[in-house]
Amino acid sequence: MAKALFSRVILKLSGEALAGEQEFGIDARYISLIAGEIRKTVRETGVEIAIVVGGGNIFRGLAGSAEGMDRSTADYMGMLATVINGLALQDALEHEGLQTRLQTAVEMRQIAEPYIRRRAIRHLEKGRIVIFSGGTGNPFFSTDTTAALRAAEIGADAILMAKKVDGVYDSDPVSNPEATRYTELTYMDVIKKSLRVMDSTAVSLCMDNEIPLIVFGLADLDNIKRAVMGEKIGTSVS
């Protein structure tokens, strides 16, 4: 078994990542590929993986709020979107032969466990993949903040942020082909330069708890294992 740099990590998957090549919804084929890579990473390194999923491929609270919806209502709708994604990911992981538990910050006992910190840690110790959905259970907080909060609670060694772009840039690489990718940043760099890694609340939580971030692209699914092994990919924030 290969020696991993980290023993327990949070893998943050954006809703957009689960949409694959689509602009909206869930790409079941692509989620299956992600699940296969997670299985390979777990089997070959022994790392404990908890996953936080976003919901932007189905509904984004900020977008709903911008169109006149009550912000709290829109955010709760976004939380429900993350549960849908969590169920899809759970199904794909179990098809790969992995044991999983889906936990939600908003109770819905018919389909998932309520989030309980000690139970989540116990699942990880038993080799299960734990999927955290429903955000923090509170409006006005992003799933980035959820990732930082859960990482601190379960004692994760790092947060692996899997995105459509291959790291953090000084400007949008889609609209600006001259954008420069950073290889290393500090937490304060991210805050002062207003870089779109994660929101300031999440960055502050990571900084206070000394949780490193590794931001990388999912175009090459093998990057999940590379990040766990500590290879220099994407952008590291510490």
Pairing outcome for strands 48-53 and 235-237: unpaired
Band of residue 186 on the pLDDT scale cut at 50, 70, 90: very high
In 3-state terms the chain splits into helix, strand, coil percentages (rounded to 5) of 40, 20, 40
* Distance (Å, whole) CA 203 – CA 195: 11
pLDDT at 65 over 80: no
Q: How many CB atoms lie within 10 A of CB 15?
A: 23
Letter for the amino acid at 24?
A: F
| CB within 8 Å of 73: residues ≥ 6 apart | 64
Average pLDDT, the chain: 92
| Architecture of the domain made up of 8-237 | 3-Layer(aba) Sandwich (3.40)
Q: Minimal CA–CA distance to 10: which of 157, 128, 163?
A: 157
